[in-house]
Structure 1
Amino acid sequence: MPDSDLVVSDTSPLLNLALIDRFDLLESQFSGITIPDQVWGELTEGEDGLESLRELCESGFLTTVEVERSGLFVEIFHELDLGETAAICYALEQDADLVLLDEKDGGRVARRHGLTVTGVVGVLLKGAKAGDVELERELDALREAGFWISDDLYSEILAEVAE
């Protein structure tokens, strides 16, 4: 059953799940996802997964919010891109329960500010533990789509599910 916590996402986890056609995992794990307008702008720059993203918005599962450029926004924007900055700032403003980020720097900044972070691999791992994902196949699909996972991390992830 999906939890009802506030989950805020950056661009890359949504885009990566779109590339492997696994938005169903978001819907099975979360009651909804909130994204800043800046993230929506990044997502709609390309064609990948656009139809599925629009369907998620129309269904009300994916909601967009405006994020103002506060002092914190400007400070974080010196380290990260626009979407990551907006997602982290909104998550902090709203005391979000979880932030979906894939980039290492984004995760570091979010954790520095006390946020709980996971990414596309965490979503896949949770799905695998629930029996909804054949993890090796999905990790391979992510790699084929251009998502970089080191061989060591790949092995660690598969070992975690095998336990």
Structure 2
Amino acid sequence: MIVVVADTSPLRYLVLIGEADLLVKLYRRVLIPRSVAAELSPARTPEAVRKWMEQPPRWIDIVESAKAAPTAADLDVGERDAIWLAGERKADLLLMDDREGVEEAVRHGLTVTGTLGVLVRAAEKGWVGLPAVFSKLRNTNSRASPALIGFLLEYDSRRRAT
């Protein structure tokens, strides 16, 4: 079984667009640090995300690291703890969207994908249509680059044509 650790933003966006269950289909289980669970719970968090986190699915494991993660000035606590947990558990994959967090994770030798990568993988398996899920994603506060989304839609169109 592969080990997958998630940061806050991929979970948040997948819940908001109604596609969080793609994670169990792709990876079976997802580990999240307690700090990520906390970031998904405040009153300012969208209601759908808060409700999802109040009773997380059985395939989400909220875990503590064996040691405290070292502080990193440019990262929030969830990103820092997700990177630390992924390294500690020798994760096969880290789910993270934040550019600085991704760069730090790569410096630590981790394999990273984000919300868009999860959606592309699900589209490759025929589970979702990228135009539809990207349209839903645009209705959130996702900072996904329109240019990158356009590139991925073109890739998807070519992939389906072959």
- 1:20 corresponds in structure 2 to 17
- 1:64 corresponds in structure 2 to 62
Q: Secondary structure of 1:50's partner?
A: helix
What are structure 2's unaligned runs of at least 5 residues? Answer: none
Pick from 39, 42, 65: which aligns with 1:42? 39
The structural deviation recorded for 1:51 is 2.7
The structural deviation recorded for 1:106 is 0.8
Q: Deviations over 1:2-28 (max 9, x none)?
A: xx2110000000000011011121111
Distance 2:149 2:56 in 1: 29
What are structure 1's unaligned runs of at least 5 residues? Answer: none
- 2:119 corresponds in structure 1 to 124
Q: Deviations over 1:110-153 (max 9, x none)?
A: 01110000011011000111111111111111111111222321
Aligned-residue CA RMSD in angstroms? 1.4
Number of residues of Structure 1 aligned to a counterpart in Structure 2: 154
Pick from 79, 86, 89: which aligns with 2:81? 86
Contact persistence 2:10–2:97 (CA under 8 A): yes
Q: Secondary structure of 2:48's partner?
A: coil
Pick from 4, 11, 20: which aligns with 1:7? 4
Q: Secondary structure of 1:48's partner?
A: helix
Pick from 110, 135, 140: which aligns with 2:135? 140
Distance 1:54 1:125 in 2: 28
Q: Secondary structure of 1:5's partner?
A: coil
Q: Secondary structure of 2:5's partner?
A: strand
Q: Percent identity between the aligned chains?
A: 36
Contact persistence 2:41–2:54 (CA under 8 A): no
